[in-house]
Amino acid sequence: MLPQNYRGGSLRTSKNIAKSIFLGAQKNNFPVEVCFSYVKGGNYDVQNDFADLLEMGITVRETEWKTISRDKVSSIISTAHLQKSVLTEPKYIMPTDGASDFYDCDLWVIISDRTTFPVFPIKKYLIVIYDYIQRYVPEIFETTEVWNIQERSYFITTRSASGIFVTTPNTRDDMISYCGVNKDKIHLINMDFTPLLNRVENTQKTIQKPYFLWPTNTTQHKNHKLTLQGLEKYFIKSDALDCYIIGTNTHYFLSNQKNGGGNFLSKQSYISQIREIINASPILKTKIHILGEVTDAVYMQMISNAVFLLHSCLYDNGTFCVLDAAYMGRPSLSAKYPAMEYMNQYFKLNLRFFNPHDPNTLAQQLQFMQEEAKNIVLPSKRSFKKYSWQANADSLFKLIIPYLE
């Protein structure tokens, strides 16, 4: 169940969990039906975005998360045999699909705690938490009420879960010390990686000049300001590579998106600041090319033709783009933080790191990558098979079985 209209890596990992449950159940001769819940109005193309789920026999349900007051749930409490004492908050949210409203499901698996209000505990549920970015980069919320927001919704949703899945030791530690969850409820599950495409076809005109690729989006934890400072220092060299930016909503960084057709993102303060930084620098305007969100085929082609990939984040749970790059035989320059160090060790990626708080070291490492990328040893394509969602399906489902009993 997606409580938000996630795309990119978040959607990809969510679908992999659904597929792993489906396949794991088959391997264990456990009769289950799996459905996938996506947010209504999330601009999903069901036949394309969820084609892999539909092909497996996983149903998809358009879902609206509705707010319900504590005063209006007395009949639901009686039907669900809940005690009124479990309802400590004035408002809750419930998923509705216009049919059974997921009452027919024995177990919900909710991807992330980003719920506007706590989830009403009508059903047993697990929650998958990838990171607590806001602990390290609180400005992504653009409010001083970060802690209160979490205490009113996110933390309650998480603490009320029957079990919690995380994919990195650092997030597990955050669950205990930051969210206040009992360590016995937390399960560290395997990271998985399945390539978007097994081979790359030429889907657009080949870029003639050598370049590196910077996949990103418009959120503040992607560290655009410092990265642009580092790029400006690097671009001073006459032989510097061009940079291509791709990713969700990044077209709003373009100068012609200042008014953005009325879209609120085009007027968002942080996005406007990044756009102004680029526009004010002749060298950034010349060397940076912004393509916005692209198809999987174009994305993989852009990686395969790049000299290397740049990952600029301040903090997250790790990113798939460095895995995509390694799979396509391209090395990555990554910001150094715990999740990326863990991912580097876990997948044996041989990443090159830079300090995400120092533009000078970024400029130096960009120059290093320009000169040495071709000499960096990467894992073979064959080695990635052991990390696929298919390979992890059995172990994941065995963690879920006790919650189905």
- For residue 200, tell me if it sits in a domain: no
Supply the CATH number for residue 259's domain: 3.40.50.2000
| Dist CA 385 CA 114 (whole Å) | 31
Weakest mean pLDDT among 20-34, 148-162, 214-228, 354-368: 148-162
Same domain membership, residue 25 and residue 68: yes
Question: What percentage of the chain has pLDDT greater than the value 90?
Answer: 70
Same domain membership, residue 234 and residue 93: no
pLDDT-derived band at 135, boundaries 50, 70, 90: confident
The answer to whether the CB of 306 falls within 8 A of the CB of 289 is: no
Q: What is the DSSP letter of 23?
A: H
Same domain membership, residue 149 and residue 21: yes
Same domain membership, residue 292 and residue 162: no
Same domain membership, residue 217 and residue 350: yes
- Return the higher-pLDDT residue of 207 and 393: 393
HEC readout, 315-358: CCCCCCHHHHHHHCCCCEEEECCHHHHHHHHHHCCCCEEECCCC
Same domain membership, residue 17 and residue 145: yes
| Dist CA 314 CA 223 (whole Å) | 6
Q: Is the pLDDT of residue 72 over 90?
A: no
pLDDT-derived band at 90, boundaries 50, 70, 90: confident
Q: What is the mean pLDDT of the chain?
A: 90
- For residue 363, tell me if it sits in a domain: yes
pLDDT-derived band at 203, boundaries 50, 70, 90: low
Q: Is the pLDDT of residue 2 over 70?
A: yes
The number of folded domains in the chain is: 2
The answer to whether the CB of 110 falls within 8 A of the CB of 119 is: yes
The predicted pLDDT at position 18 comes to 97
- For residue 284, tell me if it sits in a domain: yes
Same domain membership, residue 96 and residue 27: yes
| Mean pLDDT to the nearest integer, 361-372 | 98
Q: Is the pLDDT of residue 199 over 60?
A: no
pLDDT-derived band at 299, boundaries 50, 70, 90: very high
- For residue 272, tell me if it sits in a domain: yes
Supply the CATH number for residue 99's domain: 3.40.50
Strands 91-96 and 59-69: antiparallel
The predicted pLDDT at position 194 comes to 85
Same domain membership, residue 149 and residue 12: yes
Q: What is the DSSP letter of 384?
A: G
Same domain membership, residue 254 and residue 399: no
What would the two tokens of residue 81 be?
């045999």
Same domain membership, residue 398 and residue 359: no
| Dist CA 282 CA 293 (whole Å) | 24
Same domain membership, residue 158 and residue 67: yes
- For residue 205, tell me if it sits in a domain: no
- For residue 3, tell me if it sits in a domain: no
| Dist CA 156 CA 56 (whole Å) | 34
| Mean pLDDT to the nearest integer, 322-327 | 96
| Mean pLDDT to the nearest integer, 127-150 | 80
Same domain membership, residue 26 and residue 128: yes
pLDDT, tens digit, for every residue of 237-296?
989 999 999 998 999 999 776 555 445 565 688 999 999 999 999 999 999 999 999 988
The predicted pLDDT at position 202 comes to 62
Question: Residue 82 is part of which domain span?
Answer: 8-192+388-404
